[in-house]
Structure 1
Amino acid sequence: MNQKLSPSTILLLTIPPFLWAGNAIVGRLVREAVPPMTLNLLRWTIALAILLPLGRAAFRSGSGVLANWRRYALLGLVGVGMYNSLQYLALQSSTPINVTLVASGMPVWMMLVGRLFFGVAVRPWQVAGALLSILGVLVVLCRGDAGQLLALRLVTGDLYMILATIAWSFYSWMLMQPGDAPRLRADWAAFLATQVAYGLLWSALFTGVEWSIRAPAIAWSGKLAAALLFVAAGPAVLAYALWGAGIRRAGPGIGAFFVNLTPLFAALLSTAFLGELPHTYHVLAFALIVGGIVVSSRR
């Protein structure tokens, strides 16, 4: 595993958080129009339709999709079925600020999961980098005013986000494990299409449970259609493809710190939509998060 951050690797790991920031905003905007599990199912159904022409090799005879079904079923569960469903579920009852705060613990969960389940040692500078990165997130969340943190209250949605963060940690570490058929490993679209295909089975199961609890009520509109197309093409297909490539280069431990750019991007996108200019605390937060990345990526 190469932990040296080249400009191309930095770009691979920076674009996904930007797209995921947009995903959080869109997920919050359409929460009244479509239930969370149904939203996730629709999102990945469209994503698979986008991937099929690109990743046809995944569904040809001898591709390894069936021979390695346990691995891809697990990747589909934690990366497609659980993470996104839990995030959309969290946004039903929690505020974006709380959800972002909980998700900022990603570097810590990534280190714990790597150490406990994959035998990866935790270095002191990784801990220092995690603290710097989380501090940068806190600066964004409190808008430079520490007193605002005292007003935060955890709700049920925040617990869902903790589970989502843990699921994503497992997903990222599993991307590094061997066991993929060479044909799939060499073809990003086929590799991602395989995960999405299995993930859709889990998403359909979760959606079935959701529908058994309450009747599905989807308020179709042009706004919802545009939102579905965006979250499928951007935060799903493009972001997952780039994230997988970046993780294989830098490793999950380093990649986790880039996830903390998401709340910064979310804040900047929010201010852009509101017509406000970035503030000084955005610059400070960016410096702290990037500092955490630099410190944690030491050899």
Structure 2
Amino acid sequence: MTQKLTPSTIVLLTVPPLLWAGNAVVGRLVREAVPPMTLNLLRWAIALGVLLPLAWSTFRAPGALAGVRARWPRYLLLGLLGIGMYNSLQYLALRTSTPINVTLVASGVPVWMMLVGRIVYGVAVRPWQVAGAVLSIAGVLVVLCRGDAAGLLALRLVAGDLFMILATIAWSFYSWMLLQPKDEPALRANWAAFLAVQVAFGILWSGAFSGVEWTLCAHPIAWSGMLLAALCFVGLGPAVLAYAMWGAGIRRGGPGLGAFFMNLTPLFAALLSSAFLGEPPHAYHALAFGLIVAGIVVSSRR
């Protein structure tokens, strides 16, 4: 149930975007130390090790694991879209694109969610949602053309931009699947158990992607104290803590309010990139951020 916005709710909804922005910055920082698919595999292996003790009591409940086995195709697909594809593509995007660009392109998720909802699930699209989509798409285009309007005629996308667009499409399908009430009730009642099941199936995909990566062109992992610290951060912060706080914040403030906080991610990415990567934001980033936020505000009208 939606409740009044309180200081604790603000904290619950602000910390996850900060952690997700940090995930993008760290992914960019260690891009030469570990291959992207392997980074994603290691990240979620750490997260699963943290989640299993939290979910163990739920898995021991009668019928819980039987419910998982009965719905394994659903969890296999959730693991592919939300764990295997989205995060792998994001780390792959960070090899050629900046955290600011990656998080701004990811802010176009509401547009893709609207399209997926209409085409796949038959959800009606309202006129103000179309207006919001146009604004958000304009924001993404500003990022892709690097603020040069004339460049739209000869737009050349870097590989990272394309990978991130694919990632947002995967996340849109994943999000719509989460709205379908087809899960074991015991899992829905325990966020750690529900996430652990997705992560367990997602690791299967991540392992397969990492195997292909190492077969083709992966470079050796350059182990160091910084890399270990980075792995601990992306495995604990953006993966476990952010999901837990975000779920609690959404239960308090509602998904509509959460959408506004989600768009703090590019802002945090700009600040963290400037502080740790020496990649200062540009004027077109501010313009793109404003357009994307305006699009979400307009499309969220009732």
TM-score bracket for this pair, using the shorter chain length = 0.7 to 0.9
Residue matched to 2:63: 62
Of 204, 209, 213, the match for 1:210: 213
- RMSD over aligned CA atoms reads 3.5
Matches of 1:28 and 1:81 in 2, distance apart? Answer: 18
Q: Deviations over 1:81-124 (max 9, x none)?
A: 11001111112233445434532322211110111112222222
Residue matched to 1:261: 264
Whether the 8 Å contact between 2:21 and 2:99 is mirrored in structure 1 is: no
Q: 1:35 to 1:278 in 2, by over 3 A?
A: closer
Matches of 1:202 and 1:79 in 2, distance apart? Answer: 11
Q: How is 1:222-237 mapped onto 2 (pairs within 5 angstroms)?
A: 222-237=225-240
Whether the 8 Å contact between 2:99 and 2:270 is mirrored in structure 1 is: no
Whether the 8 Å contact between 1:264 and 1:282 is mirrored in structure 2 is: no
Once structures 1 and 2 are overlaid, which stretch shifts more, 189-198 or 62-71? 62-71
Q: How is 1:98-177 mapped onto 2 (pairs within 5 angstroms)?
A: 98-133=101-136, 146-147=147-148, 150=151, 153-177=156-180
Q: Deviations over 1:163-196 (max 9, x none)?
A: 1111100111111101111110001111111111
Q: 1:76 to 1:290 in 2, by over 3 A?
A: same
1:208 shift after superposition: 1.0
Once structures 1 and 2 are overlaid, which stretch shifts more, 35-44 or 211-220? 211-220
Q: 1:123 to 1:189 in 2, by over 3 A?
A: same
1:214 shift after superposition: 3.1
Matches of 1:134 and 1:255 in 2, distance apart? Answer: 20
TM-score, normalised with respect to structure 1: 0.82
Whether the 8 Å contact between 2:100 and 2:269 is mirrored in structure 1 is: no
Whether the 8 Å contact between 2:110 and 2:296 is mirrored in structure 1 is: no
SS at match of 2:53: coil
1:56 shift after superposition: 0.9
Residue matched to 1:28: 28
Identity of aligned residues (%): 74
Aligned residue type for 2:20: W
Whether the 8 Å contact between 1:258 and 1:293 is mirrored in structure 2 is: no
Q: How is 1:272-283 mapped onto 2 (pairs within 5 angstroms)?
A: 272-273=275-276
Aligned residue type for 2:5: P
1:32 shift after superposition: 0.4
Matches of 1:131 and 1:52 in 2, distance apart? Answer: 42
Q: 1:204 to 1:149 in 2, by over 3 A?
A: farther
Matches of 2:176 and 2:257 in 1, distance apart? Answer: 11
Residue matched to 1:48: 48
Q: Deviations over 1:66-94 (max 9, x none)?
A: 12211111111100011001111112233
Residue matched to 1:80: 83
Q: 1:138 to 1:154 in 2, by over 3 A?
A: closer
Whether the 8 Å contact between 1:106 and 1:257 is mirrored in structure 2 is: no
1:280 shift after superposition: 9.1
1:125 shift after superposition: 2.0
Mark the runs of 5 or more structure 1 residues left unpaired by the alignment.
none
Whether the 8 Å contact between 1:36 and 1:89 is mirrored in structure 2 is: yes
Matches of 2:211 and 2:250 in 1, distance apart? Answer: 33
Q: 1:65 to 1:42 in 2, by over 3 A?
A: same
Aligned length: 293
Whether the 8 Å contact between 1:80 and 1:199 is mirrored in structure 2 is: yes
Aligned residue type for 2:63: G
